[in-house]
């Protein structure tokens, strides 16, 4: 991937943008997702067409996925029991490599991260802590051994091995082997225990739903399998899952995989709020990113949490749109667009003519802390606030009510996010404001 050069005030600034999955959005040759009509039988359709799926979906929708020979695809599409047949696609995590200084390998004294501080989720100020609320982290997994994270009794894994999707469920099968999901989980719910960092909802319970592999890559079908597991188990788990975080995505449109969207719709209909990252391609809007384009999700763009430093006499300030963020004005008619912006990086520094993104400090795979930046980090800040809202509402609040609260209580509505000074940045026409935990929960500062 080429490294873009940004020009600010006539000077050239370069910033590295790394796609986690280089082929994100590509179709997987020969692999399909089949959704059946209500009442149709998966075994009957499978037997009729003599196909061998590697995963069956039962709760998000009725269907299956797997390798299907070209000669059988057309027949499946014509089957009156079949609603849709779509090609599977590659999907990846929405994080950039860790940047900046800071972080530890072993436990250190607790730090209030800049992002958590910026949104006002300050320990002891907000009455809600996320207690009694389950949050599904649909990602690379979560580190079950990290002492700063509290994991639920069940976890799930859907990973493609040798082109076959393999599913498993158990106490620790969702163990992280990449680090991305562990970092996301810490932003949401790192414990307030005097060590490492504190999350937005420090008493929420995380459920590891591993759908991305050790490289941070997966398929639409692995994500759907994870959502299917959530739909099946959300209400019976203790505590129940009320919020889903998906810091992942791929290029795409709202209608390119109707089954994926239907899985998200199912969770929405169950009263579960799905929060997703908008993407790390500043040349796109969320209408061109899946699942951020789905009207049923809360898509979150990235801002800087605090002022950066400089070596040329000026700086990039807090609440500035991150130079890498995907945005897009929210359309109340279609429901497509960015609901809110939130910190996806601590700050942007100017060093020797280069923009340096200093990542959010959060939990590290193997213990301690590390930094990462991206809309992958802005999404879990929002997820944490959503968990606080569910606790405040006694576990019962509609996803659209959640969206309304986030949008109407944001800070600096009409003025932020501020424009990124990079020439690649294009203002989307709406300054939706920055996530505000105090405003969303109605908390008054003492």
Q: Could you read off the pLDDT of 207-264 as tens digits, one per residue? A: 999 999 999 999 999 999 999 999 999 999 999 999 999 999 999 999 999 999 999 9
What was the pLDDT predicted at 3?
Answer: 30
Q: How confident is the model at residue 15 (pLDDT cuts 50, 70, 90)?
A: very low
pLDDT > 60? residue 22: no
The residue behind tokens 């000026």 is 314
DSSP structure string for 399-418: HHHHHHHHHHS-BTTTT-SB
Note whether 437 and 121 are within 8 A (CB): yes
pLDDT > 60? residue 86: yes
Q: How confident is the model at residue 7 (pLDDT cuts 50, 70, 90)?
A: very low
What was the pLDDT predicted at 161?
Answer: 76
Q: Distance between CA atoms of 226 and 264, rounded to whole angstroms?
A: 11
Catalytic residues: 139, 180, 376
Is residue 362 helix, strand or coil?
strand
Mean predicted confidence (pLDDT) in 38-58: 96
Note whether 187 and 113 are within 8 A (CB): yes
Higher pLDDT, 239 or 315: 239
- Angle (deg, nearest 10), helices 70-78 and 42-49: 130
Q: Could you read off the pLDDT of 349-385 as tens digits, one per residue? A: 988 778 889 999 999 999 999 999 999 999 999 999 9
Q: Is the pTM of this model over 0.75?
A: yes
Torsion of CA 331, 334, 337, 341, to 10 degrees: 70
What was the pLDDT predicted at 5?
Answer: 33
Higher pLDDT, 401 or 21: 401
Q: How confident is the model at residue 319 (pLDDT cuts 50, 70, 90)?
A: very high
Note whether 266 and 242 are within 8 A (CB): no
Q: What is the largest CA-CA distance in the chain?
A: 71
What was the pLDDT predicted at 95?
Answer: 76
Residue 393 structure tokens: 């509402």
Instruction: Using alpha carbons only, give the angle 197, 200, 205 rounded to the nearest 5 degrees.
Output: 90
What was the pLDDT predicted at 263?
Answer: 98
pLDDT > 80? residue 143: yes
């Amino acid at each position: 991937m080429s490294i873009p050069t940004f020009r600010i005030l006539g000077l050239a600034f370069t910033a590295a943008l790394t796609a986690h999955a280089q082929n994100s959005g590509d179709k997987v040759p020969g692999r399909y997702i089949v959704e059946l009509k209500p009442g149709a039988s998966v075994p009957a359709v499978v037997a009729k067409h003599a196909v061998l799926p590697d995963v069956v979906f039962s709760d998000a929708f009725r269907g299956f996925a797997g390798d299907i020979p070209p000669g059988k695809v057309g027949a499946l599409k014509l089957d009156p029991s079949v609603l849709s047949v779509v090609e599977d696609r590659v999907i990846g995590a929405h994080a950039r490599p860790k940047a900046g200084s800071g972080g530890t390998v072993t436990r250190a004294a607790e730090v209030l991260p800049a992002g958590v501080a910026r949104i006002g989720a300050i320990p002891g100020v907000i009455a809600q802590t996320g207690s009694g609320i389950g949050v599904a982290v649909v990602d690379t997994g979560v580190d079950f051994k990290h002492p700063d994270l509290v994991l639920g009794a069940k976890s799930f894994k859907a990973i493609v091995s040798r082109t076959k999707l393999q599913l498993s469920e158990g106490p620790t099968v969702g163990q992280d082997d990449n680090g991305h999901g562990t970092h996301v989980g810490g932003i949401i719910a790192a414990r307030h225990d005097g060590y490492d960092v504190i999350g937005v909802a420090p008493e929420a319970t995380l459920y590891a739903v591993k759908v991305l592999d050790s490289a941070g890559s997966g398929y639409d079908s692995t994500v759907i399998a994870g959502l299917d597991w959530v739909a099946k188990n959300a209400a019976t788990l203790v505590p129940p899952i009320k919020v889903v975080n998906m810091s992942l995505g791929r290029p795409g449109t709202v209608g390119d995989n109707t089954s994926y969207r239907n899985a998200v719709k199912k969770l929405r209909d169950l009263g579960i709020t799905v929060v997703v990252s908008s993407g790390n391609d500043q040349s796109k809007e969320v209408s061109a990113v899946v699942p951020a384009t789905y009207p049923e999700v809360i898509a979150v763009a990235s801002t800087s949490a605090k002022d950066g430093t400089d070596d040329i006499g000026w700086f990039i300030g807090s609440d500035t749109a991150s130079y890498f963020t995907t945005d897009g004005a929210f359309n109340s008619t279609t429901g497509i667009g960015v609901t809110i912006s939130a910190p996806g990086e601590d700050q942007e520094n100017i060093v020797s003519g280069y923009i340096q993104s200093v990542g959010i400090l959060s939990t590290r795979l193997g213990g301690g802390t590390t930094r990462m930046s991206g809309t992958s980090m802005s999404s879990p800040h929002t997820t944490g606030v959503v968990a606080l809202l569910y606790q405040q509402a006694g576990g019962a609040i509609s996803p659209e009510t959640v969206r309304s609260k986030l949008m109407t209580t944001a800070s600096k509505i009409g003025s932020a996010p501020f424009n990124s000074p990079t020439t690649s940045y294009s203002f989307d026409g709406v300054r939706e404001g920055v996530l505000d935990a105090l405003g969303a929960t109605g908390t008054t500062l003492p």
